[in-house]
Amino acid sequence: MRNKLTLKSRAIGYLARREYAGAELYRKLLPYAESGDQLESLIRDLKSEGYLSDFRFAQQLVEIRSRKFGIRRISHELKKHGLSAEVVDVFLVQIKAEEPDHIKSVWQKKFGHPAGDVLERMKQQRFLENRGFSRDAIRQLFISLGESEDLNFPVVDEMG
């Protein structure tokens, strides 16, 4: 006969495998809870005992995602996980400061050479915008690569 897990032991099992945001863990445990109040109480207890931390989750997500993605994409993902605006804002400042280094690394890995013509530059720009890098970071990257400061950036769909 299969042993039924308590809600807390199930939550700790999930947290042993990876970090979760509080809202994300809430949604994951909801099918196993008797009531929303029981689950809210458990989430509060897990936070107070140090098992669950939105800040730690955000820190881990930003560390992993910032190697490949820009501020817009990471910001969207942090908000999608139900993190508070205060937690998101702390990490957006960090991402913004590191974005020039990350965009250059991503660009170097994908392209490795300056655009030879306008079409190639547009291709590189679209790629970087789809990765969530800001238009200002893209502009600064192209300037650092020796392209003219008065770049005429064509309008490309902006990500939410």
Is the pLDDT at 97 greater than 50? The verdict is yes
The pLDDT value recorded for residue 156 is: 47
Neighbouring CB atoms inside 10 A of 123's CB total: 13
User: Cα torsion for 61, 112, 157, 59, to the nearest 10°?
Assistant: 10
44-62 average pLDDT score: 95
57, 21 contact by CB (below 8 A): yes
The tokens describing 83, both together, are: 């993190």
92, 75 contact by CB (below 8 A): yes
Bigger pLDDT: 49 vs 36: 49
The secondary structure of 102-151, three-state, reads HHHHHHHHHCCCCCCCHHHHHHHHHHHHHCCCCHHHHHHHHHHCCCCCCC
Domains and CATH numbers, the chain: 1-52 (1.10.10.10)
* Global pTM exceeds 0.85: no
Handedness of CA 98, 104, 105, 106 (dihedral sign): positive
For 51-55, 93-97, 101-105, 145-149, which range has the lowest pLDDT when averaged over its residues?
A: 145-149
Neighbouring CB atoms inside 10 A of 54's CB total: 23
Is the pLDDT at 154 greater than 80? The verdict is no
Is the pLDDT at 80 greater than 50? The verdict is yes
